[in-house]
Chains A and B, each alone.
Chain A
Amino acid sequence: MNEDFLTEEVIKRRALISRVKIHSFQTLFAVLLIGSWQLLTDRKILDPFFYGKPSGVWTQLVTWVEHGTAIGSLWVNAWVTLYEATYGFLSGVFLGIIFGIFLGRNKTAADIFAPYIKVSNSIPRVVLGSIFTIWLGLGSISKVALAFVLVFFPVFFNAFQGTREADAKLIANARLLGATNGQVTRRVVIPSALSWITASMHVSFGFALIGAIVGEFLGAQRGLGLLIATAQGTFNPNGVYAAMLIIAIMALTAEWLITQLENRLLNWRPSQVSGLEL
């Protein structure tokens, strides 16, 4: 039997080959999908009036970039949506973590607030958008508020659960080593709840975008949600797709940033637990 050890070079080459393979299949899939869409609409098998077409989406984007949209510059509208989502996200994450940890550490407070939290969580939150529009007007604040409530609850529940699940043995150990209650919270509870919290952050930037866009649907002067609503009103499917594409780019960028943050905060975890790269 002659079993050679794999050299570093061979391992690297194999990894490269499998990466190239995966990427080429991914590209092929995209080409097939977009290509068949283009083909079907070109041949009028699908009516481009209703379904739009890839080349139309591209033309729409170029027009928006070069000449602006019906409701003003594309950049201004994209920026408005982005900052509404970002403000909602940051405030929701911040307060969600604070409340989650506070109630997770304080059983009496958790028992007192439990029914209120359950009730407010059971309200379909998108409905609150209407109330916020009435209260706060057509400006950005009502959209930030809607994004905030959408983000707050998942982050809150995860922070709460993560705090509750902190290993009792580690807490006992920290106390025996001389930690005060505050030190236990900061040095033991928060680090162990952090993987729960970052998990909720991944989903909640998406929620923040939903909040901003739904808010803009309900009534706004600017933003990608309004742009989509306008395109819908003028039977312009390409406009809807083009705005969707911009939103998707925002969401993916935010997701990438959150993953970077997560990797920095959770650098102590064994690497295989860090999750699939999706």
Chain B
Amino acid sequence: MSQIHVTTKINGDTTEYLCDPEETLLDVLRDRLALTGAKEGCGTGDCGACSVTVDGRLVCSCLTLGAEADGCEIDTIEGMADGEKLHPLQQKFLEHAALQCGICTPGILVAAKSLLEKNPSPTEEEARYWLAGNLCRCTGYDKIIRAVMDAAEEMRRAS
């Protein structure tokens, strides 16, 4: 089986890889590029643990082929902090204890960042609907929502 050559930009860095035609973007990120922040939960687009953005659009990387990313810009959880400096969402997740086991956290942070880029002042209801595709079996969601709302407020003040 011949592999496909893909040129893409991941977290701002030009990246090339070879992948199999049926290989998902999630498998490429994790197994070929060692970017293991995106997780495989369900593998069927229900849990959101594999969330990344492709050309600024939030998607499930488990439902995207690696080959489709050719010429696209991908952003993952690995690009969220600025060196040692955490993104406000990451900081607020720590302060609010918005995680326990942590499996869903990278996907939720990527999804929440995407929300705040589109809508810097979401209502709690808007935040809950936006994140409805990110499942968490530990927190019961309340702490996640509090952290997102708090981060949104802090980011509005800083801007």
**Are A and B interaction partners?**
no
Write the residues of chain B forming the contact surface with A, with a CB cutoff of 8 angstroms: none
Write the residues of chain A forming the contact surface with B, with a CB cutoff of 8 angstroms: none
